[in-house]
């Protein structure tokens, strides 16, 4: 029996790679590097693109005002991970529109055979403000992102991943009004149908099950790359979903990411796409549980994330 995906039984250990692209620099520089890394290993992944304004520089405000976040920034060396230009967008530099500036890179990911989907419109605005947004505001944000995706690709997105894993019953309900194959908005546990009050929503949610590298880099127990590799190598039990960031694994941490991938390949790990996992789960629709979504905190991550399985998220 598989620990994370009780409805997805596989003899082979599997990791679905979910690539979140949060910033313009990450998309323009990190995605092409990741495409090379995946092509060299015949791995297919699922890319999620933030399509609206890159206001990452707003993070600077947090450095100045939040002691906890400053500590996290220093520990995870965010300036070297993300680059100073990205840190200034939306504050000292105007916020560029990612979809408009990076359309060629988005097409290149799709041409290389990867799945693609929507990672919100304004990444920083979404995870900072979701709980204070009206339902109309949520619909506007998703509407803008999906319209831009349609403009760039000529077809509607089939899946969506919430920026910063910020999701609640309202945002999941808004997404369920689109004909998506699945969402990937939450952390921890097996796929489920989210609940909005008494209602069970029709869109399958596939959580991220492993900690992310930008989190584990802030874990005091993992002091060097060897410790990071060992942690990820030992973490695959059955079928896992691993979120990486174009800004991190596609840039300053690409060599470490390649080592993690090669360790997994040596162990016989297979790399399905999220759409493949979704279709596999939906073939047994009656066995998929429905779960309410709540907020939780994870080691190494500033701010809260959504989970349907609080007992599995940490
Ligand atoms: Zn993101």
Instruction: Give the dihedral of Cα atoms 182, 186, 189, 190; nearest 10 deg.
Output: -10
What's the CA-to-centroid distance between 210 and ligand 1, angstroms?
15
Burial 245-272 (b: 16+ CB within 10 A, else e): bbbbbbbebbebbbbbbebbeeeebebb
What's the CA-to-centroid distance between 54 and ligand 1, angstroms?
11
The model's pLDDT over 204-241, given as tens digits with 9 standing for 90+, comes to 999 999 999 999 998 989 989 999 999 999 999 999 99
Q: Which parts of the chain are beta strand (E)? A: 14-21, 46-49, 115-118, 159-160, 182-183, 193-196, 199-200, 204-205, 239-245, 290-292, 294-296, 305-307
What's the CA-to-centroid distance between 167 and ligand 1, angstroms?
12
Q: What is the pLDDT of residue 211?
A: 97
Q: What is the pLDDT of residue 215?
A: 93
Q: What is the pLDDT of residue 78?
A: 63
Task: Write the CB contacts of 164 (distance below 8 Å, at least 6 apart in sequence).
Answer: 123, 126, 127, 303, 305
Q: What is the pLDDT of residue 7?
A: 67
Q: What is the pLDDT of residue 1?
A: 37
Q: What is the pLDDT of residue 262?
A: 98
Parallel, antiparallel, or unpaired: how do β-strands 290-292 and 199-200 relate?
Answer: unpaired
Q: What is the pLDDT of residue 293?
A: 98
What's the CA-to-centroid distance between 11 and ligand 1, angstroms?
31
What's the CA-to-centroid distance between 237 and ligand 1, angstroms?
25
What's the CA-to-centroid distance between 101 and ligand 1, angstroms?
18
Low-confidence ranges of the chain (pLDDT < 70): 1-7, 59-82, 84
What's the CA-to-centroid distance between 200 and ligand 1, angstroms?
26
Cα angle value 166/168/169 (rounded, 5°): 160
What's the CA-to-centroid distance between 244 and ligand 1, angstroms?
9
The model's pLDDT over 158-186, given as tens digits with 9 standing for 90+, comes to 999 999 999 999 999 999 999 999 999 99
Q: What is the pLDDT of residue 3?
A: 45
What's the CA-to-centroid distance between 241 and ligand 1, angstroms?
15
């Amino acid at each position: 029996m598989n620990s994370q995906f009780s409805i997805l039984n596989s003899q082979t250990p599997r990791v679905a790679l979910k690539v979140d692209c949060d910033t313009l620099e990450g998309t323009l520089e990190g995605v092409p590097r990741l495409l090379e890394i995946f092509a060299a290993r015949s791995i297919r992944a699922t890319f999620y693109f933030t399509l609206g304004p890159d206001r990452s520089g707003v993070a600077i405000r947090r450095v100045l005002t939040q002691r906890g976040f400053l500590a996290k920034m220093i520990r995870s060396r965010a300036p070297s991970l993300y680059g100073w230009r990205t840190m200034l967008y939306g504050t000292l530099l105007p916020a560029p529109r990612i979809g408009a500036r990076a359309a060629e890179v988005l097409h290149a990911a799709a041409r290389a055979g990867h799945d693609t989907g929507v990672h919100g419109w304004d990444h920083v605005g979404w995870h900072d403000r979701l709980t204070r947004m009206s339902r109309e505001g949520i619909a506007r944000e998703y509407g803008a992102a999906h319209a831009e995706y349609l403009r760039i690709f000529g077809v509607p997105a089939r899946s969506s991943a919430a920026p910063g894993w910020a999701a609640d019953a309202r945002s999941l309900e808004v997404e369920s009004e689109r004909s998506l194959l699945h969402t990937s908005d939450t952390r921890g546990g097996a796929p489920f149908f989210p609940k909005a009050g008494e209602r069970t929503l029709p869109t399958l949610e596939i959580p991220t099950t492993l900690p992310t590298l930008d989190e584990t880099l802030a874990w005091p127990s993992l002091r060097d790359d060897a410790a990071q590799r060992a942690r990820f190598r030992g973490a695959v039990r059955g079928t896992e979903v691993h979120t990486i960031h174009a800004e991190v694994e596609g840039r300053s941490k690409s060599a470490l990411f390649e080592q993690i991938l090669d360790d997994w390949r040596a162990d016989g790990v297979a790399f399905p796409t999220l759409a493949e996992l979704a279709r596999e789960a939906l073939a047994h629709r009656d066995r998929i549980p429905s779960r309410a979504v709540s907020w939780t905190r994870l080691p190494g991550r500033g701010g809260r994330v959504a989970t349907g399985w609080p007992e599995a998220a940490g």
